[in-house]
Amino acid sequence: MNDPAQPPRRRLLAAGLGLAAAGPARAQDGAIRLFVGAAGGTGIDIAARTFAAPLGAALGLPVVVVNRPSAGGVLAASAVAQAAPDGRSLLYASLGPLAIAPRIVRPLPYHPLASFTHLARLACGGFAIAVPAGSPARDLPGLVARLREKGAAANYGSSQGSVAYQLAGAMLVAAAGGRAMHVAYRGTGEVLAAAESGALDFVVDLRTLLQPHQAAGGLRLLAVTSQHPDPGMPELPPLRLYFPGMVLESWVGLSAPHGLPPAEAERLQAAAQTALADPAVGAMLLRSGASADWLPGAAFTGFVAAELRRLGEIAATAGIVPG
């Protein structure tokens, strides 16, 4: 389910908006379309397809996944925002298009609250913080001490455009009272190689991607950014144990166009809760470093609003501006 939350800069949005403007893709008659802001075969696509099967069974209708990759999920969200509020077009909603893109993409072709009926939050999972295996920082307090000692000479890295990772790193630096510089790399492979070489003081990425590098002796994982311990590596402490309130999670939910009739919203919400309890969905979440974390419609809407405010403040502190 992991969403690396990679909202684009303006050129990517402009290049892709033609897809959304052309109108949502059509599935066979009677099918529900579940729009996913990622290409087929990616982690979030696999998660959405795993969820779609029991969702369709609960509704008694086929659920067809429609991939709208690029633009960090903005294209998929835009397609659903423009669709008829009849319960046949749904968004596999996530952090990127609903909480990060509204703060850094201008103009955005939808409003993260007013354009949708948010049905339910489904799951949450955090990111992990790792240091080079040769780092003197053996635990999180050790890393904090190192960041304070090095000051502006300290640095951390993430994949270029992975704004969620950058925000998580900025949160840690601010909490530590340091001045570390963020370094963007073209891809995950490059940033992990830089971390293993000792060129970075720490790196933020998905636990599932970092853990093999720890096993190979290149990195040392210190903590996770989630509210709760990662079920796949429960020995890692959450950052909030050291810095209260310091949480940044990748989350997914289910949303529909604004104006969905209440009865239809209740039907879809009930089916989503049933699907979330399916063993195949639970196993998928465990593999991806996440866990079910249900919030019904009104509570999920409030959560999205709170994330918008909170991440906007972090982005401003980190100097991440619309582009």
What value does the mean pLDDT take over residues 68-76? Answer: 88
What value does the mean pLDDT take over residues 42-58? Answer: 96
What CATH code would you report for 10-125+249-318?
Answer: 3.40.190.150
DSSP letter, residue 3: -
Question: CATH 3.40.190.10: which residues of the chain?
Answer: 128-241
CB crowding 259-290: b at 16 or more within 10 Å, else e: ebeeebbeebbebbbebbebeebbebbebbbb
C-alpha to C-alpha distance for 279 and 296, rounded to whole angstroms: 20
Identify the pLDDT of residue 22: 34
C-alpha to C-alpha distance for 6 and 267, rounded to whole angstroms: 32
C-alpha to C-alpha distance for 275 and 17, rounded to whole angstroms: 31
* CA-to-CA dists, residue 28 to 31, 32, 41, 65, angstroms: 6, 9, 22, 12
Residue pair 37/44 in contact by the 8 Å Cβ criterion = yes
* pTM for this prediction: 0.87
Asked if CATH classification 3.40.190.10 holds for the domain at 128-241, the reply, yes or no, is: yes
Could you tell me what percent of the chain has a pLDDT over 90?
78
Identify the pLDDT of residue 160: 76
What is the average pLDDT value for the chain, to the nearest integer?
89
Residues 247-299: tens digit of each pLDDT: 999 999 999 999 999 999 999 999 999 999 999 999 999 888 899 999 999 99
* CA-to-CA dists, residue 18 to 10, 22, 39, 75, angstroms: 14, 6, 17, 9
C-alpha to C-alpha distance for 48 and 51, rounded to whole angstroms: 5
Nearest CA among 117, 114, 107, 112 for reference residue 21 = 107
Q: Are strands 202-205 and 155-159 parallel, antiparallel or unpaired?
A: parallel
pLDDT at 95 over 80: yes
Residue 181 has φ and ψ, to the nearest 5°, of: -95, 140
* CA-to-CA dists, residue 90 to 6, 224, 277, 299, angstroms: 21, 30, 19, 18
Could you tell me what percent of the chain has a pLDDT over 70?
90
Phi-psi region of 110 (alpha: psi -120 to 50; beta: other; left: phi over 0): beta
Angle between helices 297-318 and 163-176 (to 10 degrees): 70
pLDDT at 13 over 70: no
Residues 158-193: tens digit of each pLDDT: 887 788 999 999 999 999 998 999 999 988 899 999
Residue pair 28/22 in contact by the 8 Å Cβ criterion = no
Identify the pLDDT of residue 11: 35
Identify the pLDDT of residue 323: 56
Question: CATH 3.40.190.150: which residues of the chain?
Answer: 10-125+249-318
Which residues on neighbouring strands pair with residue 129, listed in sequence order?
A: 204, 223
